[in-house]
Chains A and B, each alone.
Chain A
Amino acid sequence: MKKYLNKNYALLGKTPPKDERFTKVARALFFNPIGHYILFGVLCYVVAYLATNKIIPDLIPYSLQSSLAISFSFAIASIGFCLLMGYSGLASLGTGGFIGIGSYSVHYVMYQAELPLPVAIVAALLVAALIGVVVGFISLRIEGIYLVILTLGLSEILRNVYMVVEDKIKVKNFELFGTLIKKQHSLYIVATLLVVVMIITHNIINSPTGRAMLAMKNSTAAAQAMGISLIKYRLLAFVICTMYAALSGVMIMITIRSIQASNASGYYALITSLNILAAVIIGGFKSIWGAVFGSFVMYGMQTAILQDIPFFAENPEFITFISGALVIIVVMFFPGGLAQLILELKAKVKVWYKKIKEGIYGKDLG
């Protein structure tokens, strides 16, 4: 019967309809980057649900859930840094200070003024945008290593301001849309916001704005000749980066609940900026998934995986060696990060597949 149908199509000069094995929803979810982000969010929800409700005991340890929450909070800042460094070609070491903006707005808005979370997020974003504009204007005059030093200085100034204003900040359990959010529920919020940030970033990267940023990174002269205003896109890049960092600060505050600003190896210090730089280097400068994975390596791997290995449990100081070694290996062998490694693997698998096919069916058919 099928033969006759195909013959009919051939007689009509038409091709048979496309293979429609999948429904529209399945195609949108499995064959679309945005669908992948949403699936990732759903997976996070499942992990959070299983870890907090203990339906199957010992399947997912509580430590994994909390480490995921922390690393995904930092992943938001990493994605912003990706956009700044990988796409706009601007460098910054001020992420630690910018993260503080979010945390302090949570402290003041939610703990002291007792307003809901969305207000805190909006406040954080507004302040961050203001600071981003300032840094963006600076970046018009200064470039390269000097910009790095300047942002580092700005970050330290911000940290000192935090220390003077209020050294210890905290936040209580709060209600969101009628449900009480405890510390162990934070992964839900973090995952939601991370997915939103991923989708927005993906859209920006694939839009004229993303292309303009890339053009600006490659050559400022060519970009200007093509009608791209440096002021606009540098400001935009810094504003987006600081906004994401502030959002990440909000999420960190919700997951950790109390932070001390004067801690030299704390969350607002230089170490955070460096860690995020390392995360982006490990993951790949131009990859959203890379940024998320890199921040998991930097912040989540220790509590989630390495603590269970006896050697690292006895000598916790060796844990930092792993991330350091990873950075060195990645920079030496995969300058594009782990995203590049995966792309290369994909290409190799394709070649192998083709070879196997040729081995079976012969060269002409394969």
Chain B
Amino acid sequence: MARILAKKNSLTQKNIIKLRKHLDFYREELASLEGKYDEKLDKKLNEFLIKGNRKIAKLAFEACNKEQYAEAEFEAKLQKYDVRSYMKQRKLNHGIAKKIFKKASKGEPFGYLLVSRDKKMRALDKKRAKYIERLEKQKARFLEKNSLTFVVPYNRKKAALENEYFALKAKLEAEYTAKLYKEKSKIQDKIIKNEKKLSKAKHKIKATHTLPDDVLLEVKGLKMYFGGLKAVDDLSFNVKKGEIFGLIGPNGAGKTTVFNCITRFYNATGGDMYFENKYGEVVDLRSFKVHDIILQGIGRTFQNIELVKEVSVMENLLVASTRSYKTGFWGHVFATPSLKKEDKMLRAKAMRILRFMGLESYAGWYAMGLPYGILKKVEIARALMADAKLIIMDEPAAGLNDSETAELTETIRKIRDEFGVTILLVEHDMGLVMNVCDTVCAISFGQMLGIGTTEEIQKNEAVQEAYLGVSEEE
């Protein structure tokens, strides 16, 4: 009955998917509008400042070096004076020496000549001191005078520039806030419109099943037969919200088959799977195609890493958001501005996720040469990129060494706490399972052996027999 209803409503479902895509886009756009004009404002103000500073730079140059200039002039004048006074002294000494020579040759006394020379020398020294005083006065006057001619216009112009700057800033801010408000209200109108449409479309689809409040995924009587082989036979379990659910079992127990049934890679032979999707509605997973599962909020990682090796880590994340692009094929062909806008938004989102995962520095790297542990993390980041509510991990610790496994354990806990995702994992590494899982479900040959906390499972005799017992002997 449920399936028939779902088929009937498939058109409405498509419409709902489209509306939701639009809504997601608008919400993201609204969020991205927050700092949209800050950069522009900064750029414009910066440009203004640079232009103004260029104009007054010459004035600033002279104002800065005024004192140096006065000092240099003082020194130069003093030097000039000293050179002149030296010549005078030389002349004086020369003349007196001549006179002394004459007197001495005639045999007359010449002591008074020496006294008068000393007197004249002292007078010259006094004159020099006076000159220095005069020069200093001149310097002071120069500095005072120049403060009027150079510094004041500079200060005045700088003040004017600052005033202009603040006026421009106020003007631009007012302009941009008005613009921002207009754009925001436009988008909000669109959001309201779309929400109305969405609620109308939702009314058409009747809820066929309800889940308890704390349950995210309900698997009921799942059967998967490959011809005569019963890979999964009548398996039922519930995955609670926000828990880390481990699925264990010996090789060939059908764990991966269960995963492939949930993600619709296999069409289950029988049974029901109900899931509370990322919009809070309970949906029947069997009514979706493989490539529509991700829109409901189920992301998965693979046992052998399945990344696109010839593009960068960033583009690998963008692969996961292929379905969230609002722009259609023709937009892609002509590289329209709206596509570029969306690309920018999604790249920012991908960068946020990479930063959270500690992979920021690898964003531009090709996926080809990166170590295994990092690629595993990139796969988890890719699942997060699609806003997954439930992440299904197929043997996340396969091929990792001990330290990488420990890091992965931490990462798994971290994404559960931070993004509020539920994690469903298949794992052979018992250390990881017992360490990280809240609930463990053990299966063997497609049938359930036991379900419970890790301790309960460890004590479970059937599980010990089938699985742990063997490993103890080893």
Contacts and interface: CB of A to CB of B under 8 A. Distances in A.
11 contacts: A1-B58, A14-B50, A204-B333, A207-B335, A208-B321, A208-B322, A212-B319, A218-B308, A224-B290, A226-B382, A286-B310
Interface in B306-328: 306-311, 315, 318-323, 325
Contacts of A211: 308, 311, 315, 318-319, 322
Given A221-B302, A221-B306, A227 B50 contact: no
A361 interface: no
Given A203-B332, A203-B333, A209-B332, A4 B382 contact: no
A304 interface: no
Interface string B262-300: 010100000000000000000000000111111100011
Nearest to A210: B332
Interface string B51-88: 00110011011000000000000000000000000000
A339 to B, nearest CB: 12
Interface of A: 1, 4-5, 8-9, 12, 14, 16-17, 200, 203-204, 206-212, 214-215, 218-219, 221-230, 236, 286
A226 B60 contact: no
Contacts of B335: 203, 206-207
Interface string B247-269: 00000000000000001010000
B263 A214 contact: no
Given A8-B60, A215-B319, A226 B333 contact: no
A20 to B, nearest CB: 12
Nearest to B264: A224
Interface SS of chain B: helix
Given A204-B332, A207-B335, A222 B294 contact: no
Given A207-B335, A226-B319, A4 B311 contact: no
A200 B295 CA distance: 29
B329 interface: yes
B53 A12 contact: yes
Contacts, number: 108
B57 A222 contact: no
Question: Which of B295, B311, B322, B323 counts the most chain A CB atoms within 10 A?
Answer: B322
A214 B310 contact: yes
B339 interface: yes
B426 interface: no
B50 to A, nearest CB: 7
A365 to B, nearest CB: 25
Contact of A212 (B263, B322, B386): B322
B20 to A, nearest CB: 13
Contacts of A203: 332-335
A4 B57 CA distance: 7
B336 to A, nearest CB: 9
Contacts of B386: 226-227
A219 B306 contact: yes
B49 A12 contact: yes
Contacts of B61: 1, 4
Contact of B302 (A5, A222, A236): A222
Given A9-B50, A211-B311, A218-B309, A236 B329 contact: yes
A119 B210 CA distance: 57
